[in-house]
């Protein structure tokens, strides 16, 4: 564990007593039970910051909404999100320097892609119903379904339909490779992190992520070339992410290999995040089906009686939105939020300093009010009741200092409008088509991998055609 005098003024949580090994013991305690460590930090230092140890460094954690707001307002030149993500997945080397130094895709996701959601809904609907028919069908009796596998395939195809159209979305080998790419990236990051900076550029060529990227280039490179040619000839007709990337790429990014890389970067941002979030929502529904399934189904029948999905109709599903927001509050897929790495020292109003080179993050269990069992209780219609009471309903996509499933501030997830719409469309289709419940004696578990808290992937649930 790297410890420094620079963080000596910040109190530590769960560090041990053995001289010389205190922070090692701290890292062990934190990695074993991150949530309990974060809750203990809050109980000891409710308005302040504290630090926890990891195997390679120390993390500075804030549990107060004020402090979160304070650091999220800092300029990128001081507290940087790209550097924070780079620390985790080494994407400057695993994906490529273009994605790190020239993130021109982010405003396109926030702008064009979000504005185009309504146009995409019909194509998504055809894709979703086709995939549900093929994977689950209409069983008259309950059958076991490995729902995570179904979900990840649908999300990857629907996502790539929006990113690059049907030619790419229906290339099963590419879809499988795009799903695998994120996992290869994680493994590659583990190799690259301890590698000295001067060697990283070279070691990157030896990683599984690089091999996967090249494999994908072979699969869809020809298609990207065609789209580039069509654009140059003034014959581009398709409206999708690939087109907007081609239209606004800086010259060094407007090439087949670089566009392939950028599409993979978007796949990394979009596939597993959305799959885990949707899978968690399905598990949550299956945990209390009698409480939620009839009410949600009725809402979908009422607002979308003829299965003609439109963006407006999806947006009008207030109970479904509430259910998703509550899933994001209670079951967010991470224990830490909105990590930022200090490029320069940052000083909070109370004088605490985040020293250059250190990471600061928000504590999800505390900021999402999960500390007491009462507050942590899942209440799927918590937010739709606000609308029923004449108040403004808090939406699944609206972020705040105490709702961080999509982060918050300038760098809050720009893909959340698409992700929420897509997840609701898939979920609504499932709700009207299927009865769903857990298999007797099973319970969805969560796995902790560093700060991530992911729904298990092997659980089989019971599904049959709706009766």
User: Binding to ligand HEM by residue 415, rule CB under 6 A?
Assistant: yes
Question: Does 413 belong to an annotated binding site?
Answer: yes
Helix (H, G, I), strand (E, B) or coil at 51: strand
Closer residue to ligand HEM in complex, CB, 358/406: 406
Contact flag: residue 90 with ligand HEM (CB under 6 A): no
Query: Which residues, in sequence order, are bridge partners of residue 59?
Result: 52, 359
| Residues within window 320-379 making contact with ligand HEM, judged by CB under 6 A | 338
**Residue 314 interacts with ligand HEM (CB under 6 A)?**
no
Residue bearing tokens 């609701």: 424
Q: What Å distances lie between residue 304 and 114, 290, 309, CA to CA?
A: 22, 21, 6
Asked whether position 86 contacts ligand HEM by CB under 6 A, the answer is no
Q: Residue 19: which residues within 8 A CB-CB, separation 6 or more?
A: none
By CB under 6 A, residue 109 contacts ligand HEM: yes
Distance of closest approach, residue 109 Cβ to ligand HEM, in angstroms: 5
41 versus 407: smaller Cβ distance to ligand HEM: 407
Q: What is the DSSP string of 114-155?
A: HHTHHHHHHHHHHHHHHHHHHHT---SS-EEEEHHHHHHHHH
For residue 58, give both structure tokens: 């120390």
Q: Does 277 bind ligand HEM (CB under 6 A)?
A: yes
- Choosing from 99, 228, 249, 270, the residue that interacts with ligand HEM (CB under 6 A) is 270
Is 274 near ligand HEM (CB under 6 A)? Answer: yes
End-to-end CA distance of the chain: 57
Shortest approach of ligand HEM to residue 364 CB, angstroms?
10
Q: How far is the CB of 178 from ligand HEM (least distance, A)?
A: 13
The DSSP letter of residue 352 is: -
Provide the 3-class DSSP secondary structure of residue 405. strand
Question: Min. distance of Cβ 154 from ligand HEM in angstroms?
Answer: 13
Residue 105 tokens, joined: 């895709």
Q: Is 273 in the site for ligand HEM (CB under 6 A)?
A: yes
Name which position in 158, 177, 286, 413 contacts ligand HEM (CB under 6 A): 413
Q: How far is the CB of 15 from ligand HEM (least distance, A)?
A: 27
Q: Give the DSSP letter of residue 104.
A: T
Determine, following the binding rule CB under 6 A, whether residue 260 of this chain makes contact with ligand HEM: no
| 6 secondary structure, DSSP code | G
412 in contact with ligand HEM (CB under 6 A) = yes
**Binding-site size, ligand HEM (CB under 6 A):** 23
Q: Which of 26, 98, 365, 407 binds ligand HEM (CB under 6 A)?
A: 407
Q: Could you tell me which of 270, 400, 405, 417 has the C-alpha nearest to residue 326?
A: 405
Rg (CA), the chain: 23
- Check binding of 106 to ligand HEM (CB under 6 A): yes
What three-state secondary structure class fits 310? coil
CA 133, 136, 142, 147 torsion-angle sign: negative
- Among 266, 364, 428, 430, indicate the residue that binds ligand HEM (CB under 6 A): 266
Beta bridge partners of 461: 145, 438
The residue within the footprint of ligand HEM, chosen from 10, 81, 342, 431 (CB under 6 A), is: 81
> Binding site residues, as ranges?
413
Binding site for ligand HEM (CB under 6 A): 81, 106, 109, 266, 269-270, 273-274, 277, 338, 405-409, 411-416, 418-419
> Binding site residues for heme, as ranges?
413
């Amino acid at each position: 564990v790297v410890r420094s005098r620079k963080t000596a003024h910040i109190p530590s949580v769960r560090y041990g007593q053995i001289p010389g090994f205190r922070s090692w013991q701290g890292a062990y305690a934190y990695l074993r039970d991150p949530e309990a460590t974060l809750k203990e930090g809050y109980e000891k230092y409710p308005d302040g910051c504290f630090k926890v140890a990891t195997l390679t460094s120390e993390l500075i954690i804030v549990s107060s909404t004020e402090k979160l707001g304070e650091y999220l307002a800092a300029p990128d030149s001081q507290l940087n999100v790209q550097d924070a993500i780079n620390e985790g997945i080494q994407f400057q080397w695993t994906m490529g320097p273009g994605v790190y130094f020239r993130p021109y895709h982010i405003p396109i996701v926030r702008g064009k892609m979000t504005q185009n959601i309504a146009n995409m809904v019909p194509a998504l609907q055809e894709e979703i119903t086709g995939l549900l028919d093929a994977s689950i069908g209409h069983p008259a009796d309950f059958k076991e379904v490995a729902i995570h596998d179904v979900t990840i395939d649908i999300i990857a195809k629907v996502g790539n339909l929006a990113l690059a159209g049907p030619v790419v979305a229906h290339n099963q080998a590419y879809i499988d490779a795009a799903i695998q790419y994120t996992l290869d990236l994680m493994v590659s990051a583990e190799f690259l992190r301890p590698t000295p900076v001067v060697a990283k550029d070279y070691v990157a060529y030896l990683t599984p992520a690089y091999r996967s990227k090249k494999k994908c280039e072979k699969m869809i490179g020809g298609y990207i070339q065609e789209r580039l040619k069509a654009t140059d000839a003034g014959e581009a007709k398709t409206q999708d992410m690939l087109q907007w990337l081609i239209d606004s790429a800086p010259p060094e990014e407007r090439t087949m290999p670089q566009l392939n890389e950028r599409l993979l970067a978007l796949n990394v941002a979009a596939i597993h995040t959305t799959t885990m979030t949707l899978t968690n929502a399905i598990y949550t529904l299956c945990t209390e089906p009698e409480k939620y399934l009839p009410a949600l189904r009725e809402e979908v029948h009422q607002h979308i009686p003829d299965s003609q999905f439109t963006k407006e109709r999806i947006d009008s599903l207030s109970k479904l939105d509430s259910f998703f927001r509550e899933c994001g509050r209670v079951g967010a897929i991470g224990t830490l939020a909105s990590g930022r790495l200090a490029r320069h020292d940052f000083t909070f109003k109370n004088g605490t300093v985040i020293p250059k080179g250190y990471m600061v993050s928000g504590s999800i269990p505390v900021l999402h009010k999960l500390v007491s069992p009462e507050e942590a209780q899942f209440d799927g219609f918590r937010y739709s009741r606000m609308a029923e009471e004449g108040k403004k309903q808090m939406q699944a996509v609206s972020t705040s200092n105490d709702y961080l499933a999509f982060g918050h501030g300038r760098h809050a997830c720009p893909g959340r409008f698409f992700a929420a719409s897509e997840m609701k469309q898939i979920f609504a289709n499932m709700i009207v088509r299927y009865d769903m419940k857990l298999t007797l004696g099973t319970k969805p578990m969560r796995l902790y991998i560093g700060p991530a808290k992911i729904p298990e992937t092997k659980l089989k649930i019971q599904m049959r055609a709706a009766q």
